[in-house]
Structure 1
Amino acid sequence: MVLDRRSFLGKVAATGAAAAVVPTLVLPGRAQAATWKKRLTGADLDTNSRWRVAGTDLGIPYVLENGSIGYLLGDTFDTPWPEGPPLPNDWRSPVMLRSNIHPGAPGGVVFDSAARVAGNGRAPELMHNGHNGIGIDGLWEVTVIPNDGISFPETGRQLISYMSIENWHSAGPAGPHWKSRYAGLAYSDNGNDFIRTPLKWWNNGTNTDPFQMWTMQRDGEWVYVFSVRSGRQDGPMMLRRVRWDRLFFPESYEGWGWNGSDWGWGRPCTPILTGRFGEPSVRRLADGTWVMAYLNCATGNIVTRTAAGPDRVWTAEKVQVTHWQEPALYGGFIHPWSATGTNNLHLMVSKWTRTPDGRSTAYHVSQFVGTA
């Protein structure tokens, strides 16, 4: 069992725009939709020998302004896991590796470069990080964790949504959960150096703000933002939208809400789903199908849903990866080059296993392939 931010206990039920769903526990031996393809990071791989990316997590893929794929990594070390040894172990977050290889290729994802590096060499973090100290805004910051990325070919600009982590063990009525201080946006105009904007979507004192962990998907002039609470708590999933060129203007975000008789935009947000969600990932596939993935914290499984549009009804959960396949998993980030059809859904899945006394035994990202 993984504690603090990797905890996955709770229950999930769907309400609002989606049909009610009460998922069942998946037993050992039950056939699963997705299969393991390869491990992408580790001390024994070229991610370490080339860029000193050994122990790391997340691997959130998004399309860069040049059409290739950036993979956002969270807390990253040059040792196999966060506690070393040895120490110090070059803690960085976030870090980006890049690839132009289609994930469906026989060899899967192969990284070819790292942001802020010319060729091989240490991959530095993309933006300022307080690292258990005073952050860029004068507030205590444990670390900066990326949630998603998006790019705009019209301007060459990239944006990263992130959380400033206040602590990993925030007490509460449902037990300890990690707590973000706020969600923020950072931008880059050169694809390497990201600047944290002054914009902050503040968490509250009870750690229940539902706009902390963002995933973003553009469709035409609009960017759709799905968000949940930090800490993998019970709570709602919210949906907002904003014009792509107005992301830096909080007053321009429109909520998707229920007014008692119908759903519509420009209203206070109404939950589109409720449950205990891990980090969400939403992508629009080439044929117009929308796919959502997240860790179901009741079952410990990575699941997906599909819909005809961001504000349409989402299907019931489909199990993609179970904790029997990959113990202590989390993430489940959808590759934007995924497609409908058998074995065309590509997921980046994190794993962090530890012994009862807290010593890590695995901390890495793997690629899984399934069907939406």
Structure 2
Amino acid sequence: MRVSPLILSLPGLVSAQTGKSVWKKRLTGADLDTFQRWSVAGTDLGIPYVLENGAIGFLFGDTFNTQWPEEPNNDWRAPVMLRSAINPGDANGIVFDSAAGVGGNGNAPEIMHNGHRGDDGFGTYEISVIPNDGIGFPETGDQIVSYMSIKDWTAPWATNYAGLAISTDGNTFTRLDVKWPNDDANSDPFQMWTMQRDGDWVYIFSVRSGRQQGPMMLQRAPWDQMVNQSAYQGWGWDGNNWGWGRPCTPILQGNFGEPSVRKLSDGTWGMSYLNLDTKNIVTRTAAGPDQAWSDETVQVYWNQEPFLYGGFIHPWSTANASELYLMVSKWAHDPTTGASTAYHVSQYVGSL
């Protein structure tokens, strides 16, 4: 079983700290229709991306039909996708209307092959498959999902590689032999991805697996050549200038959780991630993917709501007040027994 992302404490924090984002609603759980309709009870991540038809797909990680991952007969699945065409700014917040791979109600299946402590389909042992991000292409009707093949959940958890999977029907994805292998030191900075299309290019920001200290890198690829690794261009510094088509140079250094980058409707680029040094969910902004990023703004403080991680930006967010919509996971444990006390995804609302 995977390890808790954050079993730790931060003594001495000021309880009055409040970030710019506030809790809106819990989106998954054994008491909600995600369980009743699609057997999605305990789950995490909920990474939102624009589908080829303009609706939003939400990618979930290790998913169970039980409230907690450690319960027996839990029907472990990953990744799973729920969908919604509801504006997250509506009074009721995000409401899911369907699940990939099932018509109407029914057990939401894995959208791609998962080794589940077995063969990844390419001859490599993997524990699980965790999604990074997705992107839809209205020109072709296809979707591409970036994922991680998990090698070891021992913190900092390690991947075999980051890979791509493609779907032509929006329901089932085929894992491609297009991979960015991790190294033996678990230090490759191209493992946890976030992707954003802008015109003819898809911009990819990536960091190390396992939520650990290291660099953030930037690449881009033509939208119609994402499965062609030779078409990828790095953003790099040659000693005098920054430019494309160079070996990647770190654009940021930090202790990064999963990054999330989206271009908002006014042209602002927003970035969100868990800062593992402060344990806060933070955002930055920039005028473009290859422009300077602002200092961090705290969206949710650790002491405001402990054991949060993620912070994935909904694509329909704007730079207006109270129109930043974040998908935020919580996995908490009883400090005495270690048993799970929370494993779900919530919607938060804030401002960049």
Alignment of 1:257-296 (within 5 A): 257-296=236-275
CA contact (8 A) 2:100 2:171 kept: yes
CA contact (8 A) 1:8 1:232 kept: no
1:350-361 alignment, distance < 5 Å:
350-356=329-335, 357-361=337-341
Give a deviation string over 1:47-85, Cα, whole Å, max 9, x none. 00010000000000001111110000000000001101x
Alpha-carbon offset, residue 138 of structure 1 = 1.7
Alpha-carbon distance change, 328 to 259 in structure 1, aligned in 2, over 3 angstroms: same
| Superposed CA offset, 1:74-106 (max 9, x none) | 00000001101xx12100000000011000000
Aligned partners of 1:215 and 1:282 also within 8 Å: yes
CA 1:274–1:97: 2 relative to 1, 3 Å: same
Give the percent of matched residue pairs that are identical in Structure 1 and Structure 2.
65
The answer for the alignment partner of 1:20 in structure 2 is none
Q: Please state whether the residue corresponding to 2:35 is helix, strand or coil.
A: helix
Aligned to 1:53: 40
8 Å CA contact retained: 1:165, 1:181: yes
TM-score relative to the length of structure 1:
0.91
Q: 195, 209, 231: which one pairs with 1:252?
A: 231
Partner of 1:226: 205
Tell me the residue number matched to 1:7.
6
Give 1:351 deviation, angstroms: 0.2
2:159 to 167, 180, 194: 180
Q: Which amino acid aligns with 1:114?
A: A
Structure number with the bigger relative contact order (C-alpha 8 A, sep ≥ 6) is 1
Q: Paired residue for 1:73?
A: 60
Match of 1:159 among 124, 144, 151: 144
In structure 2, C-alpha distance between the alignment counterparts of 1:267 and 1:5, rounded to whole Å: 37
Match of 2:120 in 1: 135
Q: How far apart, CA to CA, are the structure 1 residues paired with 2:279 and 2:7? A: 6
CA distance in 1, matches of 2:116, 2:262: 31
Q: Is the 8 A contact 1:283 1:292 kept in 2?
A: yes
* 1:320 to 2:331 alignment: no
Displacement, 1:4?
4.3
Contact 1:8–1:296 under 8 Å retained in 2? no
**1:125 corresponds to:** 110
Shift of residue 321, structure 1, vs aligned partner:
1.0
Kept after mapping to 2: 8 A contact 1:211/1:227 = yes
Query: How does the TM-score come out when normalised to structure 2?
Result: 0.96
CA distance in 1, matches of 2:67, 2:306: 17
The equivalent residue for 1:362 is 342
Aligned residues: 348
Indicate if the aligned counterparts of 2:17 and 2:303 stay in contact, CA closer than 8 A: no
Residue-by-residue CA offset, 1:112-137 (whole Å, 9 max, x unaligned): 11011111110001000011122211
Give 1:36's aligned residue: 23
**Cα distance, 1:7 vs structure 2:** 3.4
Q: Report what 1:196 is aligned to.
A: 175
2 CA distance for matches of 1:134 and 1:326?
A: 38
For structure 1, which runs of at least 5 residues remain unmatched after alignment?
A: 10-24, 170-175
Are 2:51 and 1:64 equivalent residues in the alignment?
yes
Runs of 4+ with deviation above 4 angstroms = none
- Distance of 2:18 and 2:58 partners within structure 1: 29
> CA deviation digits over 1:315-362, x for unaligned, max 9?
000000122222111100000000011100000000000123321000
What SS is found at the alignment partner of 2:34?
helix
Cα distance in 1 for residues equivalent to 2:68 and 2:146: 25
Q: C-alpha separation between the residues in 2 aligned to 1:326 and 1:163?
A: 27
Question: What is the aligned-residue RMSD (CA, Å)?
Answer: 1.5
Aligned to 1:205: 184
What is the aligned partner in structure 2 of residue 105 from structure 1?
Answer: 90
Aligned partner of 2:131 in structure 1 is: 146
Q: Is the 8 A contact 1:4 1:177 kept in 2?
A: no
Q: What CA distance in whole angstroms lies between the structure 2 residues aligned with 1:233 and 1:8?
A: 15
